[in-house]
Amino acid sequence: MSHSEEASGVTTARSRPPPTLGARLADLGPRLGSAAVLIAVAALSWWLGGIVFFLVWLIAALVVDFEWQRIIGGARPSAQLLIGSATLIATAVAVRSQAPALGALILLGGAVVTGYRAGPERRRWAALGVLYAGALLIAVLTLRSSFPFGRWSIGWLFAIVWGTDAAAYFAGRLIGGPKFLPHISPSKTWSGTGVGILAGALIGLGFLVFAAQYSQLETLAPSPALFCLGLVLATVSQLGDLFESWMKRRFGAKDSSNFIPGHGGLMDRVDGFTATVVFAAVLGVLRAFPTPAEGLFHWM
């Protein structure tokens, strides 16, 4: 290409008009539709608790592992899915039976066997997929069963993660600006990420106002400490999204599956929540209160 052709190409690229608002929000319809259905299912399971919550999140973990194993491939995909699914079911039953340590042991053993069946090229990735789905399962079931704070801990995490995602989407497309790690997630911007994290923490505080009034638990009342923790949890949510984006690009996949018509897979929708709920559960356990969920709210 000659110098004049190169210059012409640069000029054309620079003179190209920026995308219109309609173009930047072109995927809004599918996002709203899928989000409405998933939020309704998650919120109903959260409120009802019990066997409904258990089954919804067990199914979610099974789908996440299915999508993960589908992305990475492996020597024996059917065996990977069968062993992974059996492992997740046994893990869930153990956690529901108030034996989370046994559940973690089952999960670790099943992950090792799944990795072995996947062959040497995919061994670590196959095992990691079972651990990823299982960590979501153990964390969400453990927190939700932590009476009397369990329901409110999950609701708070929902508010933070959903608020962060929604605010980041709209801010990123309406404000625009420099991209945030475009080689991992081409659509993320610094503006969307920053606004999303702040909005997620604030929406989380709004949920706590409702939770404290409804439950009559003064510990749930909004505070500077819970706002700061909300900022941390919202940041973890964004990191979870980036991890899943990096993992997909590592294997050349755009979406985790076509499970949600026209809008990717379930793993694409719960990546931020997975990272956040696992982080929250570990933090709650480390704080050594009677239950992990209680450890999230007691800050002096």
Apex 230 CA angle, 227 and 234, nearest 5? 145
Apex 80 CA angle, 79 and 82, nearest 5? 60
Same domain, 165 and 264: yes
Rounded Cα distance, 103 and 94, in Å: 5
Same domain, 202 and 284: yes
Same domain, 198 and 282: yes
**Residue 298 is assigned to a structural domain of this protein:** yes
Whether the CA torsion 26, 273, 226, 148 is positive or negative: it is: positive
Name the phi and psi angles at 295, rounded to 5: -65, -20
- For the segment 136-157, the average pLDDT, to the nearest whole number, is 96
Same domain, 224 and 166: yes
Same domain, 89 and 164: no
Same domain, 79 and 156: no
Same domain, 161 and 201: yes
Task: Give the pLDDT score at 93.
Answer: 97
Task: Give the pLDDT score at 27.
Answer: 58
How many other β-carbons are positioned within 10 Å of the β-carbon of residue 281?
A: 26
Same domain, 220 and 99: no
Q: Is the pLDDT of residue 13 over 60?
A: no
Task: Give the pLDDT score at 36.
Answer: 85
Contacts (Cβ under 8 Å, ≥6 apart) of 298: 219, 287, 289
Q: Above pLDDT 70, what percent of the chain?
A: 89
Provide the 3-class DSSP secondary structure of residue 289: coil
Same domain, 180 and 283: yes
**Residue 34 is assigned to a structural domain of this protein:** yes
Number of domains, the chain: 2
- 8-state DSSP, 179: B
Q: Is the pLDDT of residue 241 over 70?
A: yes
**Residue 20 is assigned to a structural domain of this protein:** no
- 8-state DSSP, 20: P
**Residue 15 is assigned to a structural domain of this protein:** no
Same domain, 43 and 119: yes
**Residue 161 is assigned to a structural domain of this protein:** yes
Widest Cα–Cα separation across the chain: 74
Q: Above pLDDT 90, what percent of the chain?
A: 69
Same domain, 233 and 134: no
**Residue 61 is assigned to a structural domain of this protein:** yes
**Residue 276 is assigned to a structural domain of this protein:** yes
- For the segment 170-184, the average pLDDT, to the nearest whole number, is 84
Domain that holds residue 202: 147-300
- What are the pLDDT digits (tens) for 206-234? 999 999 999 999 999 999 999 999 999 99
Same domain, 161 and 291: yes
Cβ(219)–Cβ(149) under 8 Å? yes
Rounded Cα distance, 232 and 226, in Å: 10
Contacts (Cβ under 8 Å, ≥6 apart) of 274: 64, 132, 135, 136, 240
Q: Is the pLDDT of residue 11 over 80?
A: no
